[in-house]
Amino acid sequence: MKTRLSVLSGVLVALLIGLGGARVDMVFADRSEVSTELPLEDLRIFAEVFGRIKKDYVEGVSDQTLLEGAIRGMLASLDPHSAYLDRDEYRNLKVGTSGEFGGLGIEVGMENGFIKVIAPIDDTPAARAGLQAGDLIVRIDDQPVKGLTLNEAVDRMRGQPGSRISLTVLREGADPMTFDIERDVIQVASVRSRMLEPGYGYVRISHFQARTPEDLTEAIAKLEAEGDARLAGLILDLRNNPGGVLNSAVGVSDAFLTGGLIVYTQGRDEDSRIEFDAGPEELLGGAPMVVLINEGSASASEIVAGALQDHKRAIVMGTKTFGKGSVQTVVPIDEERALKLTTARYFTPSGRSIQAQGIVPDIEVARGELTIASEADADRVTEADLRRHLPNGAPESHEAAEPDPDETSEDPLAIDDYQLNEAFNVLKALVIFGTAKAAG
């Protein structure tokens, strides 16, 4: 005889972002019944362990605590993003997806029992404090995070705007650091833009909200109005973009493509594949593009970078992305509790899985700094220092020419953002090469 148990499944409704918390690329599902068989022998072992704990554990434990712990452990054993959401966690998730809450503005995941920073979000307390992608948070308010679930850690980091929190962080190549941060209301504009030079636009997308495609269109129109002409080239900056709404990522990709597959999701069943295609119109009229990515680019930003790369629409530069290529379905159990279950993977148009692989840039450019030459460089030997070196051959001048400060000063863009400066150089080369080809 076999026992059957109803489990929850449902239909895709929306893919939303959880700002300031765990990476939440997810769909919400309705409850409907799907029958599956459970082995009686395994249930007998579970009941035996349950009874033994109830009888012999050093302190009394309620049935609710044991059963909830069993559910949490079952989901936590699957992958870092599947979880059981109790009353408070489910409420916090819905608050997070609304896009406004008290917190730090940081996307996090789990790594070896510690909280790993996926990306700080632009213009939030976490970004202003100096947290970086790849940082490991080991203590929250002097309490170790080891042993906490991801949801428990996120819950501790959220709080009333104006309240303070202390984070102890490990960063590769540096001593442990402590950040004292004041929480704030997290409301982030997802699109920012500016002109780098006449004809060359720069657009940064910090995360993908429902309005991001419309905001992107407005930003490009504003740049073209500022230059009174179509853009000759564009840099799309997706660095430290932790992801967000799937439809938004599809819309942004569609804005630069004239057709073809953008992304597809594939679950366990063969017939669960869902495809997203681009329309015939694009914003730039084929003008060259460079996309900037780094290890803080995750999920929806990886979808955009992968689509533009596969269609050879843009040169992708920077460093390898985070590799978050899974979809989480939120299945309500009742009005107050839910499951967050990984149900599918993302694939780029060419069939590459983003999960645990990430997007590899066409041109790798590590994060770096441009430093001004110091007095130590005076020890370098040049041709002019060698004995009996040939003279220059130019007419002698009685007065040494004063160097033009404008000619000797370093490029401020290179100093402020080395990766962006390199991307800009490549973009200008693409524009020049394209113009030369057209002329020929």
Write out the catalytic residue numbers.
299, 310, 324
The CA distance from 142 to 167, in Å, is 8
3-state secondary structure of 107: strand
Two structure tokens written together for 271: 């017939």
Phi/psi for 302 (5° steps) reads: -70, -30
The torsion angles phi and psi of 287, rounded to 5 degrees, stand at -60, 145
- Residue keyed to tokens 């080239």: 233
Q: How far apart are CA 129 and CA 180, in angstroms?
A: 8
* Per-residue DSSP letter, 368: -
> CB–CB of 299/243 below 8 Å?
yes
369, two tokens: 């700094």
What Rg, from alpha-carbon coordinates, does the chain have?
A: 27
Name residue, tokens 């819905």: 94
Q: For residue 107, which of 208, 22, 169 has the smallest C-alpha distance?
A: 22
DSSP letter for each residue of 312-360: T-SEEEES------EEEEEEESSSS-EEEEEEEEEE-TT--B-TTT---
